[in-house]
Amino acid sequence: MFAAEADSLRELAGAKAIRVPIPVCYGEAAGKSWLVTEFIAFGRGAGDSAQLLGRQLAAMHRHTSEQFGWTRDNTIGSTPQQNSRMDNWVDFYRERRLRFQFELAARNGFTGLLQAKGERLMQSLNVFFTNHAPEASLLHGDLWGGNRAFDEAGQPVIFDPAVYYGDREADIAMTELFGGFGADFYAAYQEAWPLDAGYSVRKTLYNLYHILNHANLFGGGYASQAENMIDQLLAET
C-alpha cells in the first residue's frame, strides 16, 4: 500500500500542477509498514486559494495517457484497486471499478437486489457516454475534502491519492460527495476546462464506486445508499 502511495505521489508531482508531499522513503520494520513524506505546514488558505485549486486541478487533468488505468494496482482506502490498462473507458469503469466492488459486496453478504440492479446498470453503461468521450486524465482518485489542504502560503496541497488515468469527471464528482469544495473552486475549474453536458448524471455513476467501497469497508447504510443511486441511474437509461 505504501509503495503504491509513494509512486502515486511521484506521479502527481510529475504533472507539475498541484503541490503534493514528496515521498522520502518507505519500508517495513518490526512487523510494521511505514511511509515518510515531506512535511508541509498547513495554513488556512488565502482569499483566492479555492480558485487556484480549481485551476491547478484542471491543469493536472490535462496530463494524459494513451490508456485508462495505471502502471500498477493500488488501494482506495484499504480496498485493492485494480488498474490494469484498457483502451476503452466504459469497459475499464465497468470491469476495474464497478464489477470489482459488486463482487466484493457479494462476498460481504450484500446480495439480492443490489446485485441484480448493479448488473443491469453495468450492462447499460454506454447510455451515459453517448456524447461524452473522455481523455485518460491523471486523477487523484480519492479527492474528498479530507485529502486536500493549503500550505502556509495559501497554495493548494493534495495527498493520500489513489492514482490512475481516467475520466476527469470522476475526480470532480468525488469532490462533491462529502460536502463539496465551494463555489469558487467549481467556477475556476469550469473556466479553465468546462465539464461536458451530462456530468450532473454521470457524477452519480462515478460516486457509486466510492459508496460501494464504503459499504464494503464499513457496512451500515452505505449499501442502501448505493442501491438508491443505482435506481436513479437506471431511471436515466
Known catalytic residues are 142
Instruction: Find all residues with CB under 8 Å of 2, minimum gap 6, and list them.
Output: 26, 33, 34, 35
Is 46 strand, coil or helix? coil
**DSSP strand pairing (74-76 vs 156-158):** unpaired
Strand partners, 64: 137
- Closest to 134 measured CA to CA, from 164, 160, 157: 164
Q: Which three cell numbers stand for residue 129?
A: 457516454
Report d(CA 154, CA 156) in Å as an integer: 6
- 3-class secondary-structure state, position 153: coil
Map grid coordinates 473522455 to a residue: 134
